[in-house]
Amino acid sequence: MTSSTLQSTETSLTNTLRSYCDLMKFRIVILLVFTTVTAMVVAAQGIPDFRLLIPTIIAGVFAAGGASAMNQYIDRDMDGKMHRTSRRPIPSGRVEPINALLFGSALIAWSVLILGVFVNWLAALLTLIGAVYYVGLYTLILKRNTVINIVIGGGAGAIPVLVGWAAVAGSLSIEAWLLFAIVFYWTPPHSWALAILVNRDYAAAGVPMMPVARGEDTTRLQILLYSVQLVAITLIPGIALLLGVEMLGLFYLLAALLLGGGLIYMAVWLIREPTKALARATYKYSSLYLALLFLAMIVDRLLVIIF
């Protein structure tokens, strides 16, 4: 084999691997796995057992990446109509649809098996429920048919925290459902800010996202209302702390107040200045908000260990 042929083969392999990584949407996978790990830290009230942590992370990557691949298989016709998604692996021709379907199915199956064998079967069952929720309920049923697609579909992105909690505790408590509620109520304002940015794309593809079905003014108001509800939920651990029940401490409470104040400020600003630039800023801040909020939970629990 000549050097040029070998180089061409390596390039082709690299491009193929990159295409399948694109199918998995690693930026979203990282955030979902991070929320899973955070739930494990809070459930363990410190650093969880690495014999549970490592397989849960691996399974989380597989499950989130597999669900994303199957979502893109189902939405391949829609993705081809929208400028934002037209360069995804399937509509761009880099991955055959059937290969994406098989790849996604295999990843989900492996994630369930890994959790069942190395962690526990409750975590495995919750992972399977999350995949079915996202692919079946949200992608196949809700996304193309109702304006509340994101409201109900947000539960799929919140299930990873239940998986993380179950991996450590072997059961689900009210604290686990509180973390679930945080991600659940975060999803609509985050997704609607993006929807305002790509409103024309969704309209062209016939997806009844909030800005398409109810208009941008209504969407901006809903972003504010859901942001207020979200911030209120994030402060519940502070109320519990005052009552003598410690799930999270003062460091988290301070972070939740500051970050939540910023989120509400952005939502109000977006109403007062309804521009695409501010919608983009709100979308970016909401992404940062969730990451920093969950990071604050981890730091809060580690501070308890240190001090």
Residues in the chain: 307
State residue 4's pLDDT score.
Answer: 58
Domain boundaries, the chain: 17-170, 173-307
Structure tokens at 49: 């057992």
pLDDT at 211 over 60: yes
Q: Which CATH superfamily is domain 17-170 in?
A: UbiA prenyltransferase (1.10.357.140)
CA atoms of 139 and 183, how far apart (whole Å): 18
Give me the pLDDT at residue 239, please: 82
Write phi, then psi, for 100 (nearest 5 degrees): -65, -40
Closest to 35 (Cα-Cα) out of 65, 56, 62: 56
Instruction: Provide the pLDDT for residue 11.
Output: 67
How does pLDDT run across 30-82, given as a tens digit for each residue?
Answer: 999 999 999 999 999 999 999 999 999 999 999 999 999 999 999 999 888 88
* Location of structure tokens 């059961």: 171
What is the value of pTM for the model shown? 0.93
pLDDT confidence of residue 5: 59
Question: How large is the average pLDDT for residues 158-165?
Answer: 98
Tokens of 281: 């800023």
Structural contact between residues 150 and 83, judged by C-beta atoms closer than 8 angstroms: no
Per DSSP, the three-state class of 70 is helix
CB neighbourhood size of 185 (10 A):
22
pLDDT at 3: 58
Tokens of 201: 């794309």
pLDDT at 264 over 90: yes
CA 165 to chain centre: 16
243, pLDDT greater than 80: no
pLDDT at 6 over 60: no
